Chains A and B, each alone.
Chain A
Amino acid sequence: MRKSVIIAGVGGQGTLLASKIISEAACARGLFVRTSETIGMAQRGGSVSSHIRIDAKDASPVVPSGHADIILGFELAEAARQIPRLAAGASGVVNMDCIVPTNVALRQGVYLCDEYLSILRERLPGGIFINGAPIALEAGDARTLNMVILGAGIGSGVLPFTEDEVRRVMRRCIRGGMLSVNERALELGMEAAARECR
């Protein structure tokens, strides 16, 4: 059955690797997968999104509005930005940590933390909301936020993959020295989801 996943974040947060792991896991299961990524200028701290469509041979590589079954929000405002793409009954994992853009710090535009959180909670009734940054630090590297979110995704059942499937792909995609810290982040993400689900 077709599943559409959207990953929303800020350039530099590691959305690309998370997207690669999900698409490889889908492929390993024999499902035809399409993705579309933001690569280039926006990677320098801009809004980025990864689109993954599973079982989607004759379909757009970009998730159309109202078609996303699953959202992984790496940053609160960026998750909120993707609300128009959510399907009715979508589920998701949202990192509640805020990255306030430089232009807001310069008093251009607003950053409405509480409003983004409340609209996301309303649109994702079964959603998992975590503070990912401290968990990534606990795993040993701030850059493992992507694995924390991924872990929360599989731990909560939001992502339709098993821990085994994800670990197998991680071992192929992540360089030797970085693998253990990423695996630790995945485990901590799963634990965080278990606490949330309780």
Chain B
Amino acid sequence: MDRRVCMGNEAIALGALKAGVTVVAGYPGTPSTEIIETFVREKAPNVKVQWSTNEKAALEVAAGAAYAGARSMATMKQVGLNVAADPLMSLSYIGINGGMVVAVADDPGPWSSQTEQDTRHFAKYANLPVFDPSSPEEAYEMVQAAFDISEEFGIPVMLRPTTRVCHASAEVMTEEAQSPGPISGFQKKPDWTIFPALSYKKHGELEAKQEKIARRFDSLVFNSLIAGGRRGVAVSGISYLYAREVIEEFGLDVTLFKVGTPYPMPKDMAEKFLSGVESVLVLEELDPVVEEELLLMSFGRVPIFGKRTGHLPPNGEYSYEIVRDALFSYLGIDAQKTEQPFMPELPKRPPVLCAGCPHRASFYEVKAASKNANKVIYCGDIGCYTLGNAAPLNMVDTCLCMGAGITLAQGLKLAEPDSKCIAFIGDSTFFHTGIPGVINAVYQNTDITLVVLDNHTTAMTGHQPHPGTGRTATGEPAKALSIEAILAACGVEHIAVVNPFDYEKAVDAFREAIDFSGPSAVIARAPCIFQTKKPATVRRVNDSCIGCLKCIKQLGCPAMTPGESGKVTIDESLCTDCALCSNVCPVGAIKRSGRDA
């Protein structure tokens, strides 16, 4: 036994290693990314780890390994599960041989996501059991139990941590990883091939399993009843810790039903809970999953309060404060009014493109190249470059989901033929779901311009490799797929590759591509600033600065601020000498200089 402080995502990976996992596949996405990164760091012998092209690929790779009897795991964020939904729905019918855990991180808030969808609902929709950890130490135990349950019932099991579990740390008692046992190997049988007649049979079997799993869950330690007063409180996930702190701090007398498996609900335990209380308050983030299960079971016997009754918010993450106020109101406790201290106005501080980010140059150049067009629509996508939406760039008019920019641009162009529609996509997103959209543009001959912002990494999630980088998750050399060759193979007839820091050439290349009739593409290629060493030179503003602030107003570079003298100052600890500002300055006041800092 080893006592260590573990992040939730780390605990999930260590728990899976303890359970003897052999094959792990995922696609990066906040807040799930560090699960795979922990497997990479641990370098466990005989465990195969990969960053897959996308979540669908990851889930199918993990399923194949589980068909052959290996224990396997797929990891992703909640919106990644939408991409992997197709294999998941069929896999629940077909089932697996070796234990398979699908770890899907939800993001209440949301902090770094497009949606606040609830994976517990997805699990229920797919008829798959789901574990909802309340803490890193519980996640470590749960993932091991999830493998056992998966093998016992022959179906994948879902683990749904949320941001405050994934990115929280706690003391975890870890045990030695188990080296994977011998793998039974793939056994040929008709049941691996989905056909309507088989689906009918398997659907019936799957439904029959639900009741059995619900009974099995009664015996798991993750579900518990902490007896107290006649007022009941049911909690799932991180809300458990918020509730525990409030209950202890204020000495509240309630009966607490901790739900570790929201679907299927532990049946006898839920019945026992409902028969021992006069009412129930449900504390769970995102959708009212536990609330609805309890409503169905109680069938009007016991009033159930929660999101459906307006006692708790339907969106956003919960907190100690939200849980405290809900408990006070439920128990009729007068909340002491805390005096709000005076606070001066604070600046908003949204995330921004880094100083020296090549995307800023590309956005600025595309803006310059398209300034004479009648109407231009800039379709963005998911990644650091979504931050190009902010002033002063204002270069993201749409952003929907991974890979959607290319295809949204085509629809916009069809509806507004006189507009110029320009789609931006990052290199990792291009491989993830961009390519089918390119093929569609060529096939339909829709006149859009695609800008691939190729910084040679998956930057936003922390610089993971992808099929274009020439290395695998574990750092092994790999064949580097060429984006220009793929575009050419897809039939794109105008393809240019530019360095976005070569200002004049880049603007010309963007202009030519926009003027080209038919689908065109420009690959703007320069490494993410985190992938290269800072140069020994920086840009410095000299005395000829007239204080017009054009550089700041047009670029919004975080290294530049208006100084007290009215002239611009550049923070040398942030500057990477990208020189974009020198191209903007009307009086040539920004020059290269040696770095002091």
Interface residues of chain A, those whose CB is within 8 Å of chain B, are: 10-12, 20, 23-24, 27, 32-47, 58-62, 64-67, 77-78, 80-81, 83-84, 100-106, 108-112, 115-116, 119, 123, 137, 142
Among residues of B, the one whose C-beta sits closest to the C-beta of A10 is B349
* Structural contact, A11 and B351, CB atoms closer than 8 A: yes
Among residues of B, the one whose C-beta sits closest to the C-beta of A101 is B349
* Structural contact, A102 and B170, CB atoms closer than 8 A: no
* Structural contact, A62 and B348, CB atoms closer than 8 A: no
**Can you add 7 more A-B contacts, CB < 8 Å, to A39-B34, A61-B135, A103-B348?**
A27-B4, A34-B135, A34-B241, A40-B30, A42-B351, A106-B553, A112-B345
Among residues of B, the one whose C-beta sits closest to the C-beta of A116 is B344
Within the assembled complex, what's the spacing in Å between the Cα atoms of A106 and B461? 28
* Structural contact, A36 and B171, CB atoms closer than 8 A: no
Which residues of B are found within 8 Å of A67, using beta-carbon distances? 320
* Structural contact, A40 and B112, CB atoms closer than 8 A: yes
| Known contacts A45-B352, A60-B241; is-contact A101 B347 (Cβ 8 Å) | yes
B26 contacts the other chain (Cβ, under 8 Å)? no
Cβ-defined partner of A61 (8 Å) among B241, B248, B344, B573: B241
Which residues of A are found within 8 Å of B556, using beta-carbon distances? 102, 105-106
Within the assembled complex, what's the spacing in Å between the Cα atoms of A17 and B198? 53
Among residues of A, the one whose C-beta sits closest to the C-beta of B549 is A105
B215 contacts the other chain (Cβ, under 8 Å)? no
Within the assembled complex, what's the spacing in Å between the Cα atoms of A59 and B320? 9
* Structural contact, A35 and B597, CB atoms closer than 8 A: no
Which residues of A are found within 8 Å of B169, using beta-carbon distances? 20, 23, 33-37, 61
| Known contacts A23-B169, A27-B4, A106-B553; is-contact A78 B349 (Cβ 8 Å) | yes
What is the minimal beta-carbon distance from A147 to any residue of chain B, in angstroms?
Answer: 16
* Structural contact, A62 and B392, CB atoms closer than 8 A: no
B584 contacts the other chain (Cβ, under 8 Å)? no
Within the assembled complex, what's the spacing in Å between the Cα atoms of A109 and B350? 12
Among residues of A, the one whose C-beta sits closest to the C-beta of B242 is A60
Within the assembled complex, what's the spacing in Å between the Cα atoms of A46 and B350? 5
Interface residues of chain B, those whose CB is within 8 Å of chain A, are: 3-5, 7, 30-31, 34, 111-112, 135, 164, 167-171, 238, 241-242, 244-245, 248, 319-321, 324, 338, 340-354, 384, 387, 390-392, 460-461, 552-553, 556-558, 560-562, 573, 597
What is the minimal beta-carbon distance from A12 to any residue of chain B, in angstroms?
Answer: 8
Cβ-defined partner of B168 (8 Å) among A58, A61, A106, A108: A61
* Structural contact, B321 and A111, CB atoms closer than 8 A: no
* Structural contact, B349 and A47, CB atoms closer than 8 A: yes
Among residues of A, the one whose C-beta sits closest to the C-beta of B354 is A44
Which residues of B are found within 8 Å of A84, using beta-carbon distances? 340-341, 343
* Structural contact, B321 and A64, CB atoms closer than 8 A: yes
* Structural contact, B248 and A58, CB atoms closer than 8 A: yes
Which residues of B are found within 8 Å of A46, using beta-carbon distances? 349-352
Which residues of B are found within 8 Å of A106, using beta-carbon distances? 391-392, 552-553, 556
Among residues of A, the one whose C-beta sits closest to the C-beta of B319 is A62
What is the minimal beta-carbon distance from B92 to any residue of chain A, in angstroms?
Answer: 30
Which residues of A are found within 8 Å of B390, using beta-carbon distances? 103
| Known contacts A46-B350, A80-B344, A112-B345; is-contact A36 B164 (Cβ 8 Å) | yes
| Known contacts A44-B353, A59-B241; is-contact A119 B344 (Cβ 8 Å) | yes
* Structural contact, B248 and A103, CB atoms closer than 8 A: no
Among residues of A, the one whose C-beta sits closest to the C-beta of B169 is A35
Within the assembled complex, what's the spacing in Å between the Cα atoms of A144 and B167? 23
* Structural contact, A27 and B241, CB atoms closer than 8 A: no
Among residues of B, the one whose C-beta sits closest to the C-beta of A39 is B167
Among residues of B, the one whose C-beta sits closest to the C-beta of A47 is B349
| Known contacts A40-B112, A83-B343; is-contact A102 B167 (Cβ 8 Å) | no
| Known contacts A38-B111, A109-B347; is-contact A64 B30 (Cβ 8 Å) | no
What is the minimal beta-carbon distance from A141 to any residue of chain B, in angstroms?
Answer: 9
Cβ-defined partner of B352 (8 Å) among A32, A44, A100: A44
Which residues of B are found within 8 Å of A23, using beta-carbon distances? 5, 169
Within the assembled complex, what's the spacing in Å between the Cα atoms of A102 and B551? 12
Within the assembled complex, what's the spacing in Å between the Cα atoms of A129 and B597? 23
What is the minimal beta-carbon distance from B463 to any residue of chain A, in angstroms?
Answer: 12
* Structural contact, B245 and A80, CB atoms closer than 8 A: no
Q: List 30 A-B contacts (CB under 8 A).
A: A12-B354, A27-B5, A32-B171, A33-B171, A35-B169, A36-B164, A37-B168, A39-B31, A39-B167, A40-B460, A41-B351, A43-B351, A44-B384, A58-B248, A62-B164, A64-B320, A64-B324, A66-B338, A77-B349, A78-B349, A83-B341, A84-B340, A84-B343, A102-B557, A103-B349, A103-B350, A103-B391, A105-B562, A106-B392, A111-B347
Within the assembled complex, what's the spacing in Å between the Cα atoms of A83 and B390? 28
| Known contacts A102-B556, A119-B342; is-contact A41 B347 (Cβ 8 Å) | no
Which residues of A are found within 8 Å of B561, using beta-carbon distances? 100, 105
Among residues of B, the one whose C-beta sits closest to the C-beta of A34 is B170
Within the assembled complex, what's the spacing in Å between the Cα atoms of A40 and B109? 13
What is the minimal beta-carbon distance from B369 to any residue of chain A, in angstroms?
Answer: 23
Which residues of A are found within 8 Å of B241, using beta-carbon distances? 34, 58-61
Which residues of B are found within 8 Å of A101, using beta-carbon distances? 347-350, 352, 558
Most buried by B among A27, A32, A44, A100: A44
Among residues of A, the one whose C-beta sits closest to the C-beta of B165 is A61
Within the assembled complex, what's the spacing in Å between the Cα atoms of A64 and B325? 13
| Known contacts A23-B169, A60-B319, A110-B345; is-contact A44 B387 (Cβ 8 Å) | yes
What is the minimal beta-carbon distance from A66 to any residue of chain B, in angstroms?
Answer: 7
Cβ-defined partner of B244 (8 Å) among A12, A37, A40, A59: A59
Among residues of A, the one whose C-beta sits closest to the C-beta of B555 is A102
Which residues of A are found within 8 Å of B350, using beta-carbon distances? 46, 101, 103
* Structural contact, B242 and A119, CB atoms closer than 8 A: no
Which residues of B are found within 8 Å of A100, using beta-carbon distances? 347, 561
Among residues of A, the one whose C-beta sits closest to the C-beta of B568 is A105
Which residues of A are found within 8 Å of B553, using beta-carbon distances? 106
* Structural contact, B347 and A104, CB atoms closer than 8 A: yes
